Amino acid sequence: MKVAAIVEGDGEVKALPTLLRRLAAWRTPESFVDPLPPIRVRRDRFLNRNEEFSRYLPLAAAKCTEDGWVLLVLDADDDCPAELGPQILKRAQCCVPHRRISVVLANREYESWFIAAAQSLNDQRGFSFDPMDRIDPETPRDAKGWIRARMAGGAYGETTDQPEFSARMDLQEAYNGSRSFRKLCSDWSRQVRTA
C-alpha cells in the first residue's frame, strides 16, 4: 500500500518516511507499506486557501493510487487537534472522496513527539535529557526551542536532526507520552489493516 503524505516542513519531508517505515515494522510487520516522498505545503495557505487545498489533495490522491492512503501530518500549533482535525478531514473527504484519508495534528509540533520520547534520545546527536526536565510533551508552544535548549551548542536543525531523531526515538515511549502520536499509530493500524 502506498502512503502519500502531506506535511508542512522541510524536516518532515525527510523525517516522516523514516518514521512511517518504523511504524510499519512495529505496528503492521505483516503488511507491505510504501511511504512516498511527502508533499510539502505551507500550513496556513494550505488550510486557508481553497485553491491550495484543492490542488494538493488530488495530487496526493493520484500519487497513492486507488489502493493507497492520503495522510496529512501537520502541526496543531495553537489549535486544538480534536477540533481542527475533524474539520480538515471533512474538507479533505469532500475534495477526494475516492481515497482513504487521515489527518494527524502533532500537538503542538512534530518535535513534541521527540519530547515524549526524550529519554530514548538522551546522548543522541548532542541531545541531553535530564529526567527532572520531564514535562507534558504537548504543552510547550515551542517544542523546537525545548529540544534546542537541550542540544550541545544550542543547535537543532530540522532537516538534519528531525530525520535522525525519527530514526532513533523509542516508539513505545512516544506512544505512551503523546496523545497525538497515539492518534498517528491508531490511524496507521486502522488504514493499513483495512487496505
So what's the pLDDT on residue 82?
93
The structural domain count of the chain equals: 1
* 139, pLDDT greater than 90: no
pLDDT at 141: 86
Torsional sign, CA 165, 167, 168, 173: positive
Is the whole-model pTM more than 0.85?
yes
Q: How many residues appear in the chain?
A: 195
Q: What is the model's pLDDT at position 5?
A: 98
pLDDT value for 184: 98
The residue-averaged pLDDT of 99-123 equals: 96
Q: How confident is the model at residue 83 (pLDDT cuts 50, 70, 90)?
A: very high
> What's residue 3's pLDDT?
97
Q: What is the rounded average pLDDT of the residues 87-115?
A: 96
Say if residue 79 is exposed, middle or buried (CB neighbours under 10 Å; 0-12, 13-18, 19+).
middle
Measure the CA dihedral 47/48/54/59, to 10°: -40
The 10 Å CB-count burial string (b at 16+, else e) for 26-53 is ebbeeeebebbebbbbeeeebbeeeeeb
Q: What is the pLDDT confidence band of residue 134, given thresholds at 50, 70 and 90?
A: confident
- Full domain range(s) for residue 162: 2-193
Read off the pLDDT of residues 26-65 as tens digits, 9 standing for 90 and up.
999 999 999 999 999 999 999 999 999 999 999 999 999 9
